[in-house]
């Protein structure tokens, strides 16, 4: 692969002028059997480059564990990009934002109560050094200087929106250079943050979604020489629970892209293909009010969540063709989808009776956070005994993020962080009543000052004004469900429960899971964690990648956190429902 350089106001590859026309494509949001398909469709749209973040929290889930295999096989993804003739912009963090849990920062950093993230705090830097020391060596062969596809590497991510410590950025750049990264480095920031987030010796780039010419003018004023580049040209947006599905008009997007390219700028479309926040990996916004992001990361992209080209794909390809060559090949059409109605979930395992199969209780005077329990994702269960019958005012100082409360096994209320709730009135009828508190981690804040977003009960619990002590804390990461004891369902189950059923398929293909009548929870097919559902919307379906299905018998498992419908059925349908739209 040729090597990228900057000369005056242009990029060059082996001495020839070159414009980066790139699109975001996050390998960790795409089933690995779909990587090649998505990369091919990127090339056919006219892209010569793809961009990907690297999620530190998945690659290093614990300080002593590092993964670079299976769905996290980044070298394999880079090799597929090279096979397609695509260059790669690599954005390894350590912080990535991306509407991803914690902005990609691993939760175990938060086990230290006063660690300062994205700073020169030695504890944070030591963790970053460990991460880069494990990540970079396997990637060096993918650099353009070694014949690979990676032509540039980003330092941090939109740092100017968080801080202005140039010494910290310089330290991160030094770690990259000392780790063998010998290709151009760049930073990215929104126009107003360029001065705070830039780093001498690295190319500054801008992020924007509109007023492209104005944004490029701000970049040029900040950086009088060097190529103009928009690293994140926002052509869509993400959704939050309780909102609407955000879309952006294709013609408007095409006009802004035309302005960028007409100005001679390089560009990275954010996103070319969004993909899915599988499992519990979605992030959240935390400014003033906590707002969790939905499972789908469709992002109103040129390729939709299932990888099918949209009207925006064709509109942007037309614009690109005015400024650069595009392949003279047939455009891809939609892939086949399968349908199956009335899948019955016939067996049940109530969650509160299955706790020993899901986690080991830790006894402590005060409730422990997920991070103190060594837990990344999922739920945490707290159990204690109330001292006496009578009226009780239960005050929960910190609920992160949604607590379901049970008295002697019966649901008595919900306390939600999003609604700024902290208290619940109870009536205790017997001595030694058992209080259960089930707290869902709905996604760690991924942007701004709230990154130190610890989960579970993050403060003391008061009973009638007195701090209550004596808690059994059980982590429920839900990474393995093999030990659950399912029995045939008899009557409508109340409270949180796992529900399981099977269905047969003669062929496999992509599809979308619908759970009509179900309230809130998460779903798995054949052990693959599809993500969260919530009747609150806007999202009403879950994308099921075809490779997780199999011919013959398939197994669907649903954890419903409230009460399952009387008819416990699910459907597989050919199209998604991402909710009513908002432009």
Q: pLDDT digits over 281-300, tens only?
A: 999 999 899 999 999 999 99
The answer, yes or no, to whether residue 575 has pLDDT greater than 80, is yes
Is-catalytic flag, 232? yes
The alpha carbon dihedral of 12, 13, 17, 20 has a sign of negative
The domain locations on the chain are: 21-323, 340-350+484-582, 355-476
The answer, yes or no, to whether residue 301 has pLDDT greater than 90, is yes
Cα maximum dimension of the chain: 82
Q: Of 158, 371, 372, 560, which is the active-site residue?
A: 158
- CA 513 – CA 412 distance, rounded (Å): 30
Q: Of 84, 99, 156, 232, which is the active-site residue?
A: 232
CATH architecture type of domain 340-350+484-582:
Sandwich (2.60)
pLDDT tens across 241-262, in order? 999 999 999 999 999 999 999 9
Q: What is the CATH number of domain 355-476?
A: 2.60.120.260
Q: What is the 3-state secondary structure (H, E, C) of 435-491?
A: EEEEEECCCCECCHHHCCCCCEECCCEEECCEECCCEEEEEECCCCCCCCCCEECCC
- Which has the minimum average pLDDT: 213-227, 407-421, 429-443, 489-503? 489-503
pLDDT tens across 75-130, in order? 999 999 999 999 999 999 999 999 999 999 999 999 999 999 999 999 999 999 99
- CA 39 – CA 491 distance, rounded (Å): 49
- CA 27 – CA 51 distance, rounded (Å): 10
Question: Matching CATH topology for 340-350+484-582 and 355-476?
Answer: yes
The answer, yes or no, to whether residue 493 has pLDDT greater than 70, is no
Binning pLDDT at 50, 70 and 90, where does residue 188 land?
A: very high
- CA 6 – CA 107 distance, rounded (Å): 38
- Which has the minimum average pLDDT: 102-106, 107-111, 387-391, 522-526? 387-391
pLDDT tens across 396-406, in order? 999 999 999 99
The answer, yes or no, to whether residue 576 has pLDDT greater than 90, is yes
Is-catalytic flag, 158? yes
Residue 5 host element (H or E)? strand 4-7
Q: Is 348 exposed, middle or buried (0-12, 13-18, 19+ CB in 10 A)?
A: buried
Class of domain 21-323: alpha beta
- CA 573 – CA 583 distance, rounded (Å): 26
Which residue from 295, 274, 266 is spatially nearest to 283, judged by alpha carbons?
295
Give the global pTM: 0.97
């Amino acid at each position: 692969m040729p090597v990228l350089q900057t000369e005056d106001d242009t990029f060059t590859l082996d001495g020839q002028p070159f414009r980066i026309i790139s699109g975001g494509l996050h390998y960790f949001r795409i089933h690995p059997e779909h990587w090649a398909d998505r990369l091919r469709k990127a090339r056919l749209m006219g892209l010569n480059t793809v961009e990907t973040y690297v999620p530190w929290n998945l690659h290093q889930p614990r300080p002593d564990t590092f993964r670079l295999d299976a769905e996290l096989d980044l070298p394999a993804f880079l090799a597929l990009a090279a096979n397609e003739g695509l260059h790669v912009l690599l954005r390894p963090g350590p912080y990535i934002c991306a509407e991803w849990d914690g902005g990609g920062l691993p939760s175990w950093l938060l086990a230290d109560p006063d660690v300062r993230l994205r700073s020169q705090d030695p504890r944070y830097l030591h963790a970053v050094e460990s991460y880069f020391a494990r990540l970079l060596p396997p990637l060096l062969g993918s650099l353009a200087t070694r014949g690979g596809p990676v032509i540039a590497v980003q330092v941090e991510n939109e740092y100017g929106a968080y801080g202005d410590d140039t010494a910290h950025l310089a330290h991160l750049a030094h770690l990259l250079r000392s780790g063998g990264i010998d290709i151009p480095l760049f930073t990215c920031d929104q126009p107003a943050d360029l001065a705070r987030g830039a780093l001498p010796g690295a190319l500054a780039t801008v992020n924007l979604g509109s007023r492209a010419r104005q944004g490029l003018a701000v970049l040029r004023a900040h950086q009088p020489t060097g190529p103009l580049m928009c690293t994140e040209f926002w052509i869509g947006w993400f959704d939050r629970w309780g909102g609407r599905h955000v879309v952006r008009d294709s013609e408007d997007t095409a006009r802004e892209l035309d302005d960028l390219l007409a100005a001679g700028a390089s560009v990275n479309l954010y996103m070319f293909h969004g993909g899915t926040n599988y499992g519990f990996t979605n992030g959240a916004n935390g400014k003033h009010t906590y707002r969790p992001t939905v499972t789908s990361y469709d992002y109103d992209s040129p390729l939709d969540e299932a990888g099918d080209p949209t009207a925006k794909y064709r509109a942007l390809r037309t614009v690109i063709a005015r400024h650069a060559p595009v392949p003279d090949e047939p455009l891809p059409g939609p892939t086949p989808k399968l349908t199956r109605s009335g899948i019955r979930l016939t067996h049940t395992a109530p969650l509160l009776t299955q706790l020993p199969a899901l986690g080991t209780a830790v006894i402590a005077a005060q409730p422990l956070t997920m991070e103190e329990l060594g837990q990344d994702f999922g739920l945490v269960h707290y159990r204690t005994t109330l001292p006496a019958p009578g009226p009780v005012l239960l005050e929960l100082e910190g609920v992160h993020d949604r607590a379901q409360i049970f008295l002697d096994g019966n649901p008595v209320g919900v306390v939600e962080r999003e609604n700024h709730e902290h208290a619940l009135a109870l009536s205790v009828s017997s001595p030694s009543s058992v209080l259960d508190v089930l707290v869902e981690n709905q996604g760690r804040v991924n942007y701004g000052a709230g990154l130190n977003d610890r989960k579970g009960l993050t403060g003391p619990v008061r009973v009638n004004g007195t701090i209550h002590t004596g808690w059994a804390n059980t982590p429920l990461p839900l990474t393995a469900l093999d030990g659950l004891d399912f029995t045939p369902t008899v009557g409508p189950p109340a409270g949180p429960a796992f529900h399981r059923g099977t269905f047969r398929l003669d062929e496999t293909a992509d599809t979308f899971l619908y759970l009509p009548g179900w309230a809130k929870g998460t779903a798995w097919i054949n052990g693959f964690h599809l993500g969260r559902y919530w009747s609150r919307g806007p999202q009403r379906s879950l994308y099921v990648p075809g490779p997780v299905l199999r011919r013959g018998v398939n197994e669907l498992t649903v954890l419903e956190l409230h009460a399952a419908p009387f008819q416990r059925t699910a459907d597989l349908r050919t199209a998604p429902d991402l909710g009513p739209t908002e432009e």
